[in-house]
Structure 1
Amino acid sequence: MPRTKIHVGLEIGTSKTCMVVGEVKSDGAVKILGVGMTKSAGVRKGEIYDFPQARACVKDALVKAEDASDVEIGSVFLSVTGSHIVGENNLGTFRLPEGEQQVAPEHVEEAKDIAREVHIPSDHVYLHSIVRQFRLDGLEQATSPVGLFGRTVEADFHVIHGIGTRIQNSIKCVREMPLDVDDVVFAPIAVAQVALSREDRERGALVIDIGGGTTDYALYLGGSIAASGSIPVGGDHITNDIHLVTGLPFTKAESLKIKEGDASADPARSVGSVKVTDDKGFAEAEVRRQVLNEVIRQRLEETLRLVKRRLPEGSVERIGTGIFLSGGTSLMRGFGELAFDVFGRDIYRPEPPEVSGIQSSFKDPQYTTALGLIRYAQVLDAERVAAPGFLGRIGRALWPFGR
């Protein structure tokens, strides 16, 4: 790997479009050179519905990122989300030919190819094929069993796929800048690169990334990914609930949610009322805190329970490290307490490790995905050096849209 290398991460989210320029130094440390962020338009539930508006937001973020970093950006790592994205596990089994007892590289590759061949809908494309573990004659192997003696090789994969046209729209948005797409990454996979250490993954951890339009999750058990997915519910749904209950305009409901809302069940935080004023400072409405907080809590609790129901049976009890919350909506007061009530596990917010050159505001959880894309790129670089041509345990994008 070169002495230093620059990578760029791009998140086209429901609430914001964010581009981060990072320099990976020779010692592995990351320095953030610049950030370009703008309020998103034309994106709903993590998916583009008004292409010209979304493209304009990407252009604005690009200009800001280049100005801040003094770097001419040519390509990006792109995060994607949406309820159409599905994660599932699949096992590939290969029995060695008669007379062969030692596992060769081609035997392992055959098992991996079988594991990757998950039947997916015709309109879907592969995003990631992630090796979870290998088995040799039923015995779990932490690494590839090449060179060992055995009869049956098994490769256990986690395969993530989604609707090709929706992913392609995000790629098209980038290429019209014009920029190249280095890789496409499912958002919680990027978040996990920042949020979780190797020990966290070994002990068991759940990443929940809750943004404006979607809630993405990735579960890690025993050092490897066990489940992932996306739910089409986010912070905008809370705002809409407040709007419907109070009759306030959407923008006022959003402001009330951020400034006064609390998701905990603490009755002391639901005493009294909040006065909402108009643009001239005159009283417009009065909202009881109990009503406001109940609306927020109910929606967030429903969202967390939807995530919990999608996890494999018995997996929550195996989460030894805890739950990591990221995304702008995770900043809601009392959200950590609510998450503890639902999962009964320790709650954390990701802390960017070994990162320099960033403003204190960039440590905000809403930027975790963009920073995670830089980490993702860094890990891929390291894997290419360790094993040239190897696709990597994280999993490379397999979408058929060219490079």
Structure 2
Amino acid sequence: MARTKIHVGLEIGTSKICMVVGEVKSDGSVKILGVGQSKSVGVRKGEIYDFPQVRACVKDALVKAEDASDVEIGSVFLSVTGAHIQGVNHLGSYRLPDNEDTIEPEHVKEAKEIARAVAIPQDHVYIHHIIRRFGVDGFHHAASPIGLTGRTVDANFHIVHGIRSRIENQIKCVREMPLDVDDLVFAPIATAQVALDREARERGALVIDIGGGTTDYALYSDGMIEATGCIPVGGDHITNDIHLVTGLPFSKAETLKVREGDASGDSARSVGVVKLSDEKGFAEAEVKRQLLNDIIRQRLEETLGLLRRRLPDGAIERIGTGVFLSGGTSLMRGFGELAHEVFQRDIYRPEPPELSGVQASFKDPQFTTALGLIRYAQIVESDRAPKRGLLSKLWPFSR
């Protein structure tokens, strides 16, 4: 009988550091054993800029996760993000020798090797090689074509890569806990494990995870990943805009944004003023709702516009299911209405899967990526095959 397996996901975000401990049971169900969360200090736009502070925050999250789960944590699945990370599709084609017409495992392997060997900048390293589909003589196949008759076999991969030093700094931070890194996962790919089911991927879906410092996205169509990326803009940029325009301290601007802001553009929600009081309850400032909401909407509209322009040509038309919003900033009032205006597609919030354990907190979309890491680990564990280890990921593909 298969035994249970414990996996741990770690997200080092701009606003928070979250570590979640999950137990995958023999029947495939998942039980969340514990969560450790710490306010993030030393991270900007998803990347580490103050190593000692981030290390202390990760240590705090680790202690909390171990206390909550009663598990001694030794390794984690680590999500990574940042504008330096890029996703690209690459096709590899291999022509069979003239005296052969049946596709063998070695032919598929050759096509894979060609597809994986995409040129990347010298200072970049690979994070993911995700098979999208195969092809035989130009005809697409979802599964391996071994045993079929043909002259040319294709392998189409989605390849994610990023700057070596920035990724290594995150790994170093984790290893100084000390913890091992089971695998690296680009954040929107982790988020998609929770946000999308098979039907959504088949019909086409866009996942947008907007946090404090970044907006990550993953596009799926025909059941395959089509595009991924990261825009270095998030909720903190909205707060800073409010701070600059109104002159309020950053902390007050953040409170104003969360409690009173609205991105819908509905004039009925922009009437009157918002009065702020100081710690003693005395009046401190007044801000017109119209001004506040215009600041919020303009920044979010710009961000979603940038994301839309990054999508492949015709991608919007292939989104049959809709757009899934996650991340803390997606909780902004009216954000769903704004996203619908930009993409002209149905808007959804990821529904948490059926879990046991301390699952109530995971109804908050800011935890979607952390939970997605557990789902990703579950998939890797059930579908494990011989592959290059983590250390080899940190070196460009040389063949």
Whether the aligned pair in 1 keeps the contact of 2:182 and 2:390 (CA below 8 Å) is no
What residue is the counterpart of 1:166 in the other structure? Answer: 166
Q: Distance in 2 between matches of 1:262 and 1:397?
A: 45
Return closer, same or farther for 1:258/1:147 CA change in 2, 3 Å cut-off: same
Q: Distance in 1 between matches of 2:91 and 2:169?
A: 31
Whether the aligned pair in 2 keeps the contact of 1:91 and 1:115 (CA below 8 Å) is yes
Q: Distance in 2 between matches of 1:176 and 1:230?
A: 27
Q: Distance in 2 between matches of 1:82 and 1:294?
A: 27
Decide which of 378, 383, 386 is 1:389's aligned counterpart: 386
Instruction: For structure 2, list consecutive stretches of 5 or more residues without a partner in the other structure.
Output: none
Q: Distance in 2 between matches of 1:301 and 1:44?
A: 21
Cα distance, 1:399 vs. partner? 2.0
Q: Distance in 2 between matches of 1:396 and 1:336?
A: 38
Whether the aligned pair in 1 keeps the contact of 2:111 and 2:154 (CA below 8 Å) is yes
Could you list the per-position Cα deviations for residues 240-266 of structure 1 after superposition, in whole angstroms to 9, with x for gaps in the alignment? 000011100000000000000001011
SS of 1:170's equivalent in the other structure is: helix
Map of 1:113-192 to 2, 5 A cutoff? 113-192=113-192
Q: Distance in 1 between matches of 2:190 and 2:62?
A: 20
Q: Are 1:217 and 2:217 an aligned pair?
A: yes
Return closer, same or farther for 1:6/1:234 CA change in 2, 3 Å cut-off: same
What residue is the counterpart of 1:291 in the other structure? Answer: 291
Return closer, same or farther for 1:177/1:281 CA change in 2, 3 Å cut-off: same
Q: Are 1:399 and 2:396 an aligned pair?
A: no
What residue is the counterpart of 1:317 in the other structure? Answer: 317
> Could you state the TM-score of these two structures normalised by the residue count of structure 1?
0.96
Map of 1:102-117 to 2, 5 A cutoff? 102-117=102-117
Whether the aligned pair in 2 keeps the contact of 1:185 and 1:397 (CA below 8 Å) is no
Could you list the per-position Cα deviations for residues 219-243 of structure 1 after superposition, in whole angstroms to 9, with x for gaps in the alignment? 0011001111000000000000000
RMSD: 1.3
Q: Distance in 2 between matches of 1:362 and 1:275?
A: 33
Letter in 1 for 2:52: P
SS of 1:17's equivalent in the other structure is: strand
SS of 1:99's equivalent in the other structure is: coil
Q: Distance in 2 between matches of 1:233 and 1:390?
A: 34
Could you list the per-position Cα deviations for residues 173-203 of structure 1 after superposition, in whole angstroms to 9, with x for gaps in the alignment? 0000000000000000000000000110000
Q: Are 1:92 and 2:86 an aligned pair?
A: no
SS of 1:225's equivalent in the other structure is: strand
Q: Distance in 1 between matches of 2:60 and 2:101?
A: 59
Q: Distance in 2 between matches of 1:5 and 1:242?
A: 46
What residue is the counterpart of 1:355 in the other structure? Answer: 355
What residue is the counterpart of 1:260 in the other structure? Answer: 260
Could you list the per-position Cα deviations for residues 96-143 of structure 1 after superposition, in whole angstroms to 9, with x for gaps in the alignment? 012010000010010011001111000000000111111100111110
Could you list the per-position Cα deviations for residues 289-314 of structure 1 after superposition, in whole angstroms to 9, with x for gaps in the alignment? 00000000000010001100000011
What residue is the counterpart of 2:197 in the other structure? Answer: 197
Cα distance, 1:389 vs. partner? 2.0
Letter in 1 for 2:393: W
Whether the aligned pair in 2 keeps the contact of 1:383 and 1:390 (CA below 8 Å) is no
Letter in 2 for 1:69: S
Q: Distance in 2 between matches of 1:151 and 1:343?
A: 41
What residue is the counterpart of 2:242 in the other structure? Answer: 242
Cα distance, 1:26 vs. partner? 1.1
Letter in 1 for 2:268: A
What residue is the counterpart of 2:339 in the other structure? Answer: 339
What residue is the counterpart of 1:229 in the other structure? Answer: 229
Whether the aligned pair in 2 keeps the contact of 1:20 and 1:36 (CA below 8 Å) is yes
Share of identical aligned residues, percent?
75
SS of 2:383's equivalent in the other structure is: helix
Cα distance, 1:355 vs. partner? 1.2
Range 336-345 or range 346-355, more displaced? 346-355
SS of 1:245's equivalent in the other structure is: helix
Whether the aligned pair in 2 keeps the contact of 1:128 and 1:398 (CA below 8 Å) is no
Instruction: For structure 1, list consecutive stretches of 5 or more residues without a partner in the other structure.
Output: none
Letter in 1 for 2:34: G
What residue is the counterpart of 1:277 in the other structure? Answer: 277
- Count of aligned positions: 395
Whether the aligned pair in 1 keeps the contact of 2:352 and 2:362 (CA below 8 Å) is no
Q: Distance in 1 between matches of 2:133 and 2:359?
A: 39
> Could you state the TM-score of these two structures normalised by the residue count of structure 2?
0.97
Q: Distance in 2 between matches of 1:367 and 1:400?
A: 28
